[in-house]
Amino acid sequence: MSTRDSERVLITIEDGIAIVTLNRPDKYNGLDMPMFEAITRAAKTLKKDRSVRAIILNGAGDAFCSGLDVKTVSKNPVNFLKLLVKPGRRISNLAQNVGYLWRDVPAPVIAVTHGYCFGGGFQIALGADFRFSTSDCEFSIMESKWGLIPDMSLTVTLRELVPIDLAKELTMTARRFDGTEAKAMGLVSRVSDDPMAEAMNFARELAERSPDAVAASKLLFNRSWNATDRTALDWETKLQKKVLGRANQRIAVARNSGSPDKPYQDRRDF
């Protein structure tokens, strides 16, 4: 087991499964500047760790994340500039990083939500590949309540899950809905009385597969889901060439041919 932590985000890695915990429970894991920076560091760190097979993203205390801590961030107007300015040629700014960067991590990411999942917190969860929730978790795209729009990568992540009219409704009204309704709308993958335990079981299942095949599958769908047919088919060919005949693909064959305990190597770079 290895453990890494900053004040705002804790990372524990065991048996190839990384557990990332938003750690500001006294403020329902509200997003202040140190939290934005810590989440960004965590995503970048885990992207580089080729031993990680799956990631579980959760919140300490009584909530997943209550969204932007407006009171704290607004104490210094420069903070808003830091959040919104996009450095150099990077695709996302600091505010967008907290949701968007998880899409760029090769290992699959499972967000486990409970309590509150509001505003920026919801956008973090949408950046994950899967969302497991309690039935009574409260969700809201809350920005319009404060005269704002969602700006933490929701326009990229939400469009893959719901039709545009529903996206507009939830954004314009800022209404709250629970985990059961979120599942019915396609915003949550699974609802459970113990979503953390279910996420752990799922992460272990993912860790039993070739890490190259899992990472390539994530990249395949992220790149092809809204692409043209030609682009999607090109990605299939490109990524199959990257895994076919490689060490982990040969190990997968061996594990299905009499050597079920043969361990996989760390994944390749994707």
The residues spanned by each domain of the chain are: 2-207, 211-255
Instruction: Let me know: does 31 contact 95? Beta carbons within 8 Å.
Output: no
User: pLDDT band for position 80 (50/70/90)?
Assistant: confident
Portion of the chain with pLDDT greater than 70, in percent: 98
Helices (H) and strands (E) in the chain, counts: 12, 10
Q: What is the pLDDT averaged over residues 66-72?
A: 91
Architecture of domain 2-207: Alpha-Beta Complex (3.90)
Report pLDDT for 78: 86
Instruction: Specify burial of residue 266 (Cβ count, 10 A radius: 0-12, 13-18, 19+).
Output: middle
Report pLDDT for 74: 81
Instruction: Specify burial of residue 70 (Cβ count, 10 A radius: 0-12, 13-18, 19+).
Output: middle
Asked if the model's pLDDT at residue 103 lies above 90, the reply is yes
Q: What is the pLDDT averaged over residues 193-211?
A: 98
The model's pLDDT over 39-64, given as tens digits with 9 standing for 90+, comes to 999 999 999 999 999 999 999 999 99
| CA distance linking residue 262 with residue 204, whole number of Å | 16
